[in-house]
Amino acid sequence: MRLPRQNLRTPGPTPIPNDIVEAMSEPMINHRGPEFLDLITESTRLLKQVFMTQNDVFVLTSSGTGSLEAALVNTLSPGDKVLGVSAGAFGDRFCDIADAYYADLKRIEVEWGEPIDPEVIRRELREDPGIKAVMITHNETSTGVTHDLESIADIAKNEFGKLILVDAVSSLGCIPLPVDGWNCDMVGTASQKGFMIPPGLAFISVSDDAWEANRTSTMPRFYFDVAEAKKYLESGQTPWTPNLSAIYGLRLALDKMMDEGVENIFARHHDIAQYTRDAVEDLGLELFCTDPARASDTVTAIKMPENIDGSRLMNIMRTEEDVVLAGGQGKLVGHIFRIGHLGWVSREDIEEVVEALKRTLPRVGFSAS
Amino acid sequence: MRLPRQNLRTPGPTPIPNDIVEAMSEPMINHRGPEFLDLITESTRLLKQVFMTQNDVFVLTSSGTGSLEAALVNTLSPGDKVLGVSAGAFGDRFCDIADAYYADLKRIEVEWGEPIDPEVIRRELREDPGIKAVMITHNETSTGVTHDLESIADIAKNEFGKLILVDAVSSLGCIPLPVDGWNCDMVGTASQKGFMIPPGLAFISVSDDAWEANRTSTMPRFYFDVAEAKKYLESGQTPWTPNLSAIYGLRLALDKMMDEGVENIFARHHDIAQYTRDAVEDLGLELFCTDPARASDTVTAIKMPENIDGSRLMNIMRTEEDVVLAGGQGKLVGHIFRIGHLGWVSREDIEEVVEALKRTLPRVGFSAS
């Protein structure tokens, strides 16, 4: 099997730098031995710097969705009232997990492509003092919208004293999310986004308030039990056999992130995202996000122009231009396409995409009006 | 970071062949695109051959423990009576998952190091017709004992019509486990054992009877929901972002396993295991498994000789002989040590271990009586 070298612009998986690929080729070790102790201890210490937190942080062997399940099942009990936001496929997924674990979910419906108004959260929390936790997708990958987590957390946590559970899968390590600064209780993210390694690991931070909730939480949990993770981490282990290769990659990725500096990483993501937005608008395309101030710095969602064959556009881009774009998800299939610009990404990567779009759009019948 | 080249004889993680390491270095792809469709479709087809089943088989991004959780939560409801076997750390873990998800668990206690007598299963099932499922660890990695799954499944399934849920983490792909031949309902295993790839993937098979149970099962599940996995697999995808690198490795590993032939793989494991048992007994050491006919062909557990410093033995073996042995788990810490011989293993690998033991045992005060 030889896979093509592509300009992979899905919002995860993202390309892996060569030195990280090489690090991942290191031989297997005993995950209950001294080499692993060093590896997980140092990786966890550096992860906390990317999370900007003094909270506990754990490495889970799962996709990012596992960290969202972990956020819920470790803090809540069946029947607990939680507030969720349906503003895209991933907001829906977070809500669906709460449903699956028999939480009493109030799902706020927001038009896909729009950010949620934090005022709505305030109103809901005022109306129902019984709500225990607010779940929020920081960056909604499916619509290219970054919700105003800072304001939402401030309302939920500081005004109302609720738990705030954050899906930070496509934001953390790319755009600012100071976990302690914003007082977030459970924050889950994944390896294949900002961390420049393949899918297969998730990371989650757990605040003191989350630990307090954990003590009385009765949702069933085993694989994603963070109390078990904490117990093992004290002796430099994970409860279950960890994904060693990905952790080898993570260890180096964290060094590289420290070398670049998190503030510089955020600035790079913002600059590239702004370049992307400007360039696609120059092409005569329209952004899907309704609020320019909340357009995502990790993925740009673009309305599929009417009267063109969207799947032909994606196909030509992939097979002739070696540029892999992401389509729409859920009810957005066929209505948008997306350009990921997160993790190991440079402005040149996006310039290539723009040039390829310039060549391809006219071939599928698009002309800028 | 440069990790040492060791003769890694933990019963997972196991060494990775170089060509598989190389396959895992392939670039990332869109997991919702055509290349992944080919990859997962073909991998699943070949996995079924290793499972010797026509049942559905799914690839999960988790450790093996995730597949055990999946076996339970997809077939049972809280309060369902299940029969579990505590005969080692992994039997206990399977029982603990049932407890965590509020099953009504009957835990049969078996002396660690002994196989369970299938007659005990028959008696328990006769005594309590309300039992819905039998959970069994095929190969108990912590004690080096292979339970008689064939007889247990025959009793549970064919005599009593119960669900049989199997932990095959350290058996499948190494020793015979014909899933259809033995009529097993849910069988979970993991990547870092027989499959010659790193930890990070689990595989699970689901029988028609398991699907039938799934329809009325109310245990909460999301990440490990096999019905969701089935829906996505129909379009060549996984519900959540999969561990691509490990799946690249798996694809090649399955080709290699097909080339060797599963019967030849079983024979190789048996021969090497028999050589290991004979050789350690020749050294004057004693096997921990009480029944020679049920000693594991994937891991040999050896009683730590009295009056020697066990941790010094393990340390010298690791630091001076580059041989990594596994210690005891749970209540066996300090009482046994273990030699893994599964996956990519040859007789020469074990000969090295034996030679190293010959040099090291006298240094820690052991003399064969």
Task: Give the residue on B whose Cα is nearest the Cα of A68.
Answer: B223
Query: A 126-145 residues with CB below 8 A of B?
Result: none
Q: Is the pLDDT of residue B4 over 90?
A: no
CB distance A251–B23 less than 8 Å? no
Q: Which residues of chain B does A29 touch, with a Cβ-Cβ cutoff of 8 Å? A: 3, 6, 8, 13, 324
Task: Give the residue on A whose Cα is nearest the Cα of B196.
Answer: A28
pLDDT at A263 (0 to 100): 98
CB distance B26–A100 less than 8 Å? no
CB distance B199–A61 less than 8 Å? yes
- In three-state form (DSSP H/G/I as H, E/B as E, the rest C), the secondary structure along chain A is CCCCCCEECCCCCCCCCHHHHHHCCCCCCCCCCHHHHHHHHHHHHHHHHHHCCCCEEEEECCCHHHHHHHHHHCCCCCCCEEEEEECCHHHHHHHHHHHHCCCEEEEEECCCCCCCCHHHHHHHHHHCCCCCEEEEECEECCCCEECCHHHHHHHHHHHCCCEEEEECCCCCCCCCCCCCCCCCCEEEEECCCCCCCCCCCEEEEECHHHHHHHHHCCCCCCCCCHHHHHHHHCCCCCCCCCCHHHHHHHHHHHHHHHHHCHHHHHHHHHHHHHHHHHHHHHCCCCECCCCHHHECCCEEEEECCCCCCHHHHHHHHHHCCCEECEECCHHHCCCEEEEECCCCCCHHHHHHHHHHHHHHHHHCCCCCC
Q: Is the pLDDT of residue B368 over 80?
A: no
Mutation choice for B interface testing from A8, A243, A324 by most B CBs within 10 A: A243
Average of per-residue pLDDT values in chain A: 97
Nearest CB neighbour to A30, from listed B198, B241, B324:
B324
Residues of chain A with pLDDT under 70: 1-2, 369
Residues A97-108: pLDDT tens digits? 999 999 999 999
Residues B306-330: pLDDT tens digits? 999 999 999 999 999 999 999 999 8
CB distance B28–A192 less than 8 Å? yes
pLDDT at A3 (0 to 100): 74
- Average pLDDT value for residue range B57-84: 98
Nearest CB neighbour to B25, from listed A25, A30, A62:
A25
- Average pLDDT value for residue range B3-32: 94
ipTM above 0.85, yes or no: yes
Q: Is the pLDDT of residue B366 over 70?
A: yes
Q: Which residues of chain B does A223 touch, with a Cβ-Cβ cutoff of 8 Å? A: 62-63, 65-66, 69, 223-224
Task: Give the residue on A whose Cα is nearest the Cα of B93.
Answer: A222
Question: Residue B15: is the preceding peptide bond cis (ω within 30°)?
Answer: no
pLDDT at A52 (0 to 100): 98
- Structural domains in chain A, CATH included, are 7-13+261-363 (3.90.1150.10), 18-259 (3.40.640.10)
CA distance B38 to B33: 9
CB distance B13–A35 less than 8 Å? no
pLDDT at B369 (0 to 100): 66
Q: Which residues of chain A does B101 touch, with a Cβ-Cβ cutoff of 8 Å? A: 220, 222
- Average pLDDT value for residue range B349-358: 98
pLDDT at B5 (0 to 100): 79
Q: Which residues of chain A does B224 touch, with a Cβ-Cβ cutoff of 8 Å? A: 223
Mutation choice for A interface testing from B101, B169, B222, B342 by most A CBs within 10 A: B222
Q: DSSP characters for B300-340? A: EEEEPPTTS-HHHHHHHHHHTT-EE-EE--GGGTTTEEEEE
Query: A 1-60 residues with CB below 8 A of B?
Result: 1-6, 8, 10, 12-16, 21-33, 35, 39
Q: Which residues of chain A does B63 touch, with a Cβ-Cβ cutoff of 8 Å? A: 61, 223, 240-243
Residues B113-125: pLDDT tens digits? 999 999 999 999 9
B366 touches chain A (CB under 8 A): no
Residues B177-226: pLDDT tens digits? 999 999 999 999 999 999 999 999 999 999 999 999 999 999 999 999 99
| Helix (H), strand (E) at residue A126 | helix A118-127
Query: A 85-114 residues with CB below 8 A of B?
Result: 96-97, 100-102
- A vs B, Cβ pairs < 8 A, gives 209
CA distance A193 to A298: 9
- Average pLDDT value for residue range B343-363: 97
Closest to A302 in 3D by CA, of A347, A334, A268? A334
Q: What percent of chain B has pLDDT over 70?
A: 99
Q: Is the pLDDT of residue B367 over 90?
A: no
pLDDT at B296 (0 to 100): 98
Query: A 304-333 residues with CB below 8 A of B?
Result: 318, 324, 326-327
The pTM of the full predicted model, rounded to 2 decimals, is 0.97
Going by C-beta distance under 8 Å and a sequence separation of 6 or more, which residues neighbour residue B244? A13, A198, A199, A200, B28, B29, B31, B36
CA distance B85 to B87: 6
Average of per-residue pLDDT values in chain B: 97
| Helix (H), strand (E) at residue A108 | strand A104-109
| Helix (H), strand (E) at residue A340 | strand A336-340
CB distance A30–B16 less than 8 Å? no
B255 touches chain A (CB under 8 A): no
